[in-house]
Amino acid sequence: MSIKVRQAIENSLISIQQNTFDENTIRTLLISTREYLRPDSLLRELAHFIAHPNRNQGIFHKKVNSRYAKFKLVSDQVSKFHLSHFKENISTEDELSDFMLAGINVDKIEAKLFKVLYQDGLDDLPEEHLLKYTGFNKFEVSNLLNEHYTKIENYYYLKVIKTERMISRLKQLPPDDQLNKAIQEGLTLTSRIRNRIDGIQKVIRGAIFFHSVFEKDSITKEFQNYYAEVLDRFEIDRKYVDVLKDNIDSILLCLITLLHDSKFVFYDKNESRVSLCLYLEDKMSATNADNKKPKSDLLYENGVLALYLACDTGGGEQISFPLFVSDLKIQEYITKPNFLKGEILDSYNEIPWITAIRNGAKIELT
């Protein structure tokens, strides 16, 4: 056991208990304990994120990398055609959906993209959505993809291609009723497999969900469960588990300020910056339509803190989606006069107050 590490952990916990901590305290706590947290935990991922703010791997990276890839593929597909093509060839929503998702060849897929779209993308997809549109759960879809694809060097190939080549050679043999029947059955089977796999893949890459990559409840539970294990390891009193739980909002504030300005490096080397933003639910604006309250008042009274990432897909189109949307109201951490000076005009706007500091017994943004 490292005496220095134990001391850093205990000092951080005492500071949280005494309500004297700020974001530097939380940075020290996470980085000191990350080696001892479970490898697949959110807290360990957050600790890695804080220690290495340029991320090209990890739990969060897999999710946002997959979402970005889906956006980019659709954007690239649309950019290939003039507007007249859509008017002349697409008349229904189903035709539009098929067209926008047609940028990937089901027969041959680059290995890196296969992983990003269909392995990481499957993990990011809600189970109920997959069941509704494919009839299969995640485990079954994963098995189907593994069963019907083979990896050769840097590509995944649909296995029915090999069967179709064999059928093509059989067609060159002298005509025979039994042979013709076998050929037709083989073609029917390969067509059915290709259509099924193509349909499943379109469901996976066609669904982009905007839920937070991590949730407050999950982090709270991990502080309670996983930090209990760390405390036991260092022979520190378990009373600090309750201390962490009781201060979760202030701890969460520190976490999101520490993640501000970090970066994701995507599968195609494009980058996206994470920024601390103000988020206001659309229904809040709709409710206010009749009250005519100034937007600045509405944002201050109801806006919550969120982490968003934004980037250019390469074709000039900007995309943005959440890393985390909290329930922490901006009005709890900054005065209204200071807020109005910031001239925040709308939801999703990046805010200038990006550091969690201690002002007596209160933690604030500055």
Q: Which candidate, 279, 281, 219, places its Cα nearest to that of 250?
A: 219
Instruction: Tell which residue, 214, 241, 218, 227, has the closest CA to residue 37.
Output: 227
The predicted pLDDT at position 283 comes to 57
Residue-by-residue DSSP string for 275-327 = EEEEE--HHHHHHHTTTT--HHHHHHHH-EEEEEEEEE-SSS-EEEEEEEEEE
Rounded CA-CA distance 284/259 in Å is: 27
Q: What is the pTM of this model?
A: 0.82
Residue 157: per-residue pLDDT: 95
Bridge pairing between strands 263-265 and 304-312: unpaired
Structure confidence at residue 211 (pLDDT): 82
pLDDT value at position 186?
87
Query: Can you give the residue ranges of every domain in the chain?
Result: 3-55+214-365, 61-206
Segments in the chain below pLDDT 70: 1, 81-102, 282-292, 314-316
According to the model, what pLDDT value does residue 65 have?
92
Angle (CA) 176-181-187 rounded to 5° is 125
* 332 exposure class (CB count in 10 Å sphere: 0-12, 13-18, 19+): middle
Nearest one of 210, 310, 215, 301 to 255, comparing CA atoms: 215
Cα(11)–Cα(23) distance, integer angstroms: 14
The pLDDT assigned to 1 comes to 63
What the block records as the tokens of 83 is 């507007």
